[in-house]
Amino acid sequence: MARLDVSGWAKALRRETRPVLGICLGMQLLFERSEEGGVQTLGLIPGEVRRLPRPDGGVWPHMGWSRLTLERASPLTANLDEGAYAYFVHGYAADPGEATIASAEHGRSFSAMVQRGAVFGCQFHPERSADVGSTILRNFIELSDAALSGN
Protein backbone atom coordinates (compact mmCIF):
# COMPACT_ATOMS: atom_id res chain seq x y z
CA MET A 1 0.00 0.00 0.00
CA ALA A 2 2.90 2.33 0.75
CA ARG A 3 4.12 2.03 -2.86
CA LEU A 4 0.65 2.85 -4.18
CA ASP A 5 0.59 5.96 -1.97
CA VAL A 6 4.09 7.14 -2.89
CA SER A 7 3.55 6.57 -6.62
CA GLY A 8 0.23 8.44 -6.65
CA TRP A 9 -1.73 5.35 -7.74
CA ALA A 10 -3.79 5.21 -4.52
CA LYS A 11 -5.03 8.76 -5.06
CA ALA A 12 -5.70 8.08 -8.75
CA LEU A 13 -7.64 4.89 -8.02
CA ARG A 14 -9.79 6.64 -5.39
CA ARG A 15 -10.73 9.29 -7.99
CA GLU A 16 -11.26 6.93 -10.94
CA THR A 17 -14.76 6.94 -12.46
CA ARG A 18 -14.12 4.35 -15.18
CA PRO A 19 -14.63 0.66 -14.30
CA VAL A 20 -11.83 -0.84 -12.19
CA LEU A 21 -11.17 -4.56 -11.68
CA GLY A 22 -8.99 -5.75 -8.79
CA ILE A 23 -7.72 -9.34 -9.00
CA CYS A 24 -6.53 -11.35 -5.98
CA LEU A 25 -4.45 -8.92 -3.87
CA GLY A 26 -5.88 -6.17 -6.09
CA MET A 27 -9.36 -7.04 -4.81
CA GLN A 28 -8.13 -7.04 -1.22
CA LEU A 29 -6.71 -3.53 -1.70
CA LEU A 30 -10.19 -2.27 -2.65
CA PHE A 31 -11.38 -2.71 0.96
CA GLU A 32 -10.82 -0.34 3.90
CA ARG A 33 -8.30 -2.33 5.89
CA SER A 34 -6.25 -5.53 5.79
CA GLU A 35 -5.37 -7.68 8.77
CA GLU A 36 -2.27 -8.73 6.82
CA GLY A 37 0.21 -6.14 8.04
CA GLY A 38 -2.56 -4.13 9.75
CA VAL A 39 -2.72 -1.57 6.93
CA GLN A 40 -5.32 0.87 5.73
CA THR A 41 -6.13 0.09 2.11
CA LEU A 42 -7.94 2.03 -0.64
CA GLY A 43 -11.33 2.18 1.09
CA LEU A 44 -13.36 1.84 -2.13
CA ILE A 45 -15.44 -0.99 -0.65
CA PRO A 46 -16.49 -1.20 3.03
CA GLY A 47 -14.95 -4.02 5.03
CA GLU A 48 -11.77 -5.64 6.26
CA VAL A 49 -9.65 -8.39 4.78
CA ARG A 50 -8.92 -11.11 7.35
CA ARG A 51 -6.79 -14.24 7.48
CA LEU A 52 -8.60 -17.37 6.34
CA PRO A 53 -8.64 -20.16 8.92
CA ARG A 54 -7.12 -23.52 8.15
CA PRO A 55 -10.13 -25.78 7.45
CA ASP A 56 -10.34 -29.12 9.27
CA GLY A 57 -8.02 -31.44 7.39
CA GLY A 58 -7.31 -28.70 4.86
CA VAL A 59 -4.37 -26.54 3.97
CA TRP A 60 -3.50 -22.88 4.32
CA PRO A 61 -3.22 -20.88 2.19
CA HIS A 62 -6.20 -21.68 0.00
CA MET A 63 -4.83 -22.96 -3.32
CA GLY A 64 -7.03 -24.66 -5.86
CA TRP A 65 -10.48 -24.77 -7.41
CA SER A 66 -13.57 -23.74 -5.43
CA ARG A 67 -17.22 -23.30 -6.32
CA LEU A 68 -18.74 -19.85 -6.63
CA THR A 69 -22.09 -19.10 -5.01
CA LEU A 70 -23.78 -16.25 -6.89
CA GLU A 71 -25.18 -13.82 -4.30
CA ARG A 72 -26.71 -11.10 -6.49
CA ALA A 73 -26.88 -10.06 -10.11
CA SER A 74 -24.01 -8.09 -11.60
CA PRO A 75 -22.75 -7.42 -15.13
CA LEU A 76 -19.54 -9.19 -14.08
CA THR A 77 -21.37 -12.47 -13.38
CA ALA A 78 -23.52 -12.46 -16.54
CA ASN A 79 -23.56 -15.90 -18.19
CA LEU A 80 -22.02 -17.66 -15.18
CA ASP A 81 -23.67 -20.79 -13.82
CA GLU A 82 -24.31 -21.28 -10.11
CA GLY A 83 -21.56 -23.47 -8.69
CA ALA A 84 -19.04 -22.61 -11.40
CA TYR A 85 -15.44 -23.27 -10.37
CA ALA A 86 -12.71 -20.63 -10.09
CA TYR A 87 -9.01 -20.98 -9.24
CA PHE A 88 -7.83 -19.39 -5.96
CA VAL A 89 -4.40 -18.75 -4.43
CA HIS A 90 -4.73 -16.67 -1.23
CA GLY A 91 -4.53 -16.72 2.54
CA TYR A 92 -6.64 -13.63 3.30
CA ALA A 93 -10.14 -12.62 2.22
CA ALA A 94 -13.02 -10.29 3.04
CA ASP A 95 -16.20 -11.53 4.72
CA PRO A 96 -19.34 -11.44 2.59
CA GLY A 97 -21.00 -8.03 2.76
CA GLU A 98 -23.17 -5.62 0.82
CA ALA A 99 -20.70 -5.50 -2.09
CA THR A 100 -20.45 -9.30 -2.44
CA ILE A 101 -21.75 -10.61 -5.76
CA ALA A 102 -20.30 -14.13 -5.35
CA SER A 103 -18.92 -16.03 -2.39
CA ALA A 104 -16.86 -19.17 -1.86
CA GLU A 105 -15.79 -21.36 1.07
CA HIS A 106 -12.44 -22.27 2.57
CA GLY A 107 -12.59 -22.62 6.33
CA ARG A 108 -15.32 -19.95 6.24
CA SER A 109 -17.45 -18.16 3.69
CA PHE A 110 -15.69 -15.24 2.00
CA SER A 111 -16.26 -12.72 -0.80
CA ALA A 112 -15.10 -14.26 -4.06
CA MET A 113 -16.36 -11.37 -6.20
CA VAL A 114 -17.42 -7.86 -5.27
CA GLN A 115 -18.97 -4.82 -6.89
CA ARG A 116 -19.62 -1.33 -5.64
CA GLY A 117 -20.61 0.98 -8.48
CA ALA A 118 -17.93 0.72 -11.16
CA VAL A 119 -15.44 -0.95 -8.78
CA PHE A 120 -15.22 -4.74 -9.21
CA GLY A 121 -13.04 -7.42 -7.70
CA CYS A 122 -12.25 -11.12 -8.04
CA GLN A 123 -10.47 -12.83 -5.14
CA PHE A 124 -9.56 -15.66 -7.50
CA HIS A 125 -7.51 -15.57 -10.68
CA PRO A 126 -9.81 -15.30 -13.72
CA GLU A 127 -6.80 -15.69 -16.00
CA ARG A 128 -6.32 -19.17 -14.47
CA SER A 129 -10.01 -20.09 -14.27
CA ALA A 130 -10.65 -21.50 -17.75
CA ASP A 131 -14.01 -20.66 -19.37
CA VAL A 132 -15.39 -19.10 -16.17
CA GLY A 133 -12.48 -16.67 -16.04
CA SER A 134 -12.75 -15.89 -19.75
CA THR A 135 -16.43 -15.09 -19.29
CA ILE A 136 -15.72 -12.75 -16.38
CA LEU A 137 -12.92 -10.93 -18.21
CA ARG A 138 -15.10 -10.63 -21.33
CA ASN A 139 -17.93 -9.22 -19.19
CA PHE A 140 -15.56 -6.65 -17.69
CA ILE A 141 -14.25 -5.60 -21.10
CA GLU A 142 -17.80 -5.21 -22.41
CA LEU A 143 -18.97 -3.12 -19.45
CA SER A 144 -15.80 -1.01 -19.66
CA ASP A 145 -16.36 -0.43 -23.38
CA ALA A 146 -19.99 0.56 -22.69
CA ALA A 147 -18.92 2.97 -19.94
CA LEU A 148 -16.29 4.58 -22.15
CA SER A 149 -18.68 4.99 -25.08
CA GLY A 150 -21.37 6.48 -22.82
CA ASN A 151 -23.87 3.60 -23.17
What are the catalytic residues? 24, 125, 127
Name 70's bridge partners: 102
Count of residues in the chain? 151
Q: How far apart are the first and last CA of the chain?
A: 33
Residue type at 138? Answer: R
CB contact at 8 A, 140 and 19: yes
